[in-house]
Structure 1
Amino acid sequence: MGDKPNGEMARVGVYVDGFNLYYGLRLLSRRRDLWLDLGELARNLLRSGQSLEHVTYFTALVRADPLAVARQRAYLAALRCHGTEVVLGRFQEQVKRCRACGATWRSYEEKKTDVAIASAMVADVALGRVDVVMLVSADSDLCAAVERVREIDARRGAKTRVVSVFPPGKSADGLRKCSDAWFPLGAAVVRRSQLPEVVAGRDGARYHRPPHWS
């Protein structure tokens, strides 16, 4: 996968759809595996002849629940300590109404994450930063970004290998069809890719696995 001539290592960029992965991990084990080291996960997924260029995690900050906010901030800080780049989108508040009874309630919808992932993938390929795109998601909306990658490849006369990794319990027919390869993320690799219980930052800060994630 992603072999290059003359013994060169194929550079792999890993793009993680944060909430897609989160809900897959919840399906797998509720909260037990949420303290996931994405860099270690990526290294465990590499094959011979590949080198890890970067791991980028795309998500949005949760709202409304202070305890959930604290857990997420600790996790993002721990990821950064272990070399994962974090790109933040946002949640947009919406007011929804029941057609039957007229009751209303507030809801939050994640915005910009898929656009950010698509932009990063296309930019990295266009600028020659990666030879392999590894997409951790089951969102077929990202097929449009894969099509742009194919167009760039056609113009430059090189082939970028696109590999889709489906979070536990999830799949996407669109990504199956447009990717060069795909596979489900298994429980075994998730379990051996967990962060330490306590992650130490360079500034002396310490980030603990939330007790709620057990």
Structure 2
Amino acid sequence: MGRTAVLVDGFNLYHGMKKQRGRRHLWLDHVALASRLRRRDQIVDVRYFTAPVLDDAAAAGRQQTYLEALKAHNPGVLTVVEGRYQRKRMHCHACGTYWISYEEKETDVNIAVALMEIAALPTVDTVLVVSADSDLCPAVRSARRVNPQLTIVPAFPPHRRSGELRALLPSAFTISETKLRQSQLPPVVTDPVTGAKYLRPAYWQ
């Protein structure tokens, strides 16, 4: 039995799942998913990389409920690593309209740093990287130089591909809808320490 760490690019995965089935699979248990993707391994460390929603109180509330449910359901295994969103003022030169757009910051860097930390401290055999972001390729190359024995496997979210990552790591594969459907959190998650209950948002049904 191998020991596997999992690095989840939340932004990349979220948009892939939304394109595939809307909000149907957003109540996802990343530890359960990793266990299904690496059935012969012990999942020892799952890190979920995301950023707090800006300027939408309802969406921010759903996100916070989800993050608390994830941590409560997987104590000691799952860690949430937060980056940030940056507001950008956009302008259409053709019509003169201005609007605010949002750009996620720090996630790529946070994943790269985590990958290097894991490579430098060889306590795991495999890293499952749930992302199809080719910006991670330099970190993958560095991690392999630091620890040539470390196996790095990209798991592409639905509707997300990276030819560069696949060329670098031919073991790359796409996560199936079946695995996502089978790896949902319970409709109600109870914190084993505080007793707090977290309900799947009705908006995600």
Aligned to 1:179: 169
Aligned to 2:4: 12
1:40-75 C-alpha deviation (Å, 9 max, x unpaired): 001111142x21121110000111111101100000
Aligned to 2:139: 145
SS in 1 for 2:154: strand
CA distance in 1, matches of 2:42, 2:195: 30
Q: Residue 19 of structure 2 is aligned with which of 15, 19, 27?
A: 27
Deviation at 1:28, TM superposition (A): 1.8
Q: Residue 90 of structure 1 is aligned with which of 70, 84, 88?
A: 84
CA distance in 1, matches of 2:39, 2:30: 16
- Pairs within 5 Å for 1:57-206: 57-83=48-74, 84-153=78-147, 158-201=148-191, 202-206=193-197
Q: Which runs of 4+ in 1 moved over 6 A?
A: none
Contact 1:39 1:82 in 2 (8 A): no
For 1:99, give the aligned amino acid. H
Aligned to 1:212: 203
In structure 2, the CA distance between the partners of 1:162 and 1:180, relative to structure 1 (3 Å rule), is farther
Aligned to 1:39: 31
CA distance in 2, matches of 1:130, 1:98: 49
CA distance in 1, matches of 2:188, 2:44: 26
CA distance in 2, matches of 1:213, 1:38: 17
Contact 1:161 1:180 in 2 (8 A): no
CA distance in 1, matches of 2:82, 2:163: 27
Contact 1:162 1:180 in 2 (8 A): no
TM-score under structure 1 normalisation? 0.91
SS in 1 for 2:203: coil
Identity of aligned residues (%): 46
1:156-193 C-alpha deviation (Å, 9 max, x unpaired): xx421110100011111111011251110001111110
Contact 2:62 2:201 in 1 (8 A): yes
Structure 2 residue runs of 5 or longer lacking an equivalent are none
CA distance in 1, matches of 2:39, 2:81: 26
- Pairs within 5 Å for 1:47-62: 47-48=39-40, 50-62=41-53
Contact 1:63 1:69 in 2 (8 A): yes
CA distance in 2, matches of 1:62, 1:144: 28
Give the aligned CA root-mean-square deviation in angstroms: 1.1
Contact 1:163 1:181 in 2 (8 A): yes
For 1:188, give the aligned amino acid. T
Deviation at 1:129, TM superposition (A): 2.6
Contact 1:13 1:132 in 2 (8 A): yes
Contact 1:37 1:194 in 2 (8 A): yes
CA distance in 2, matches of 1:130, 1:73: 30
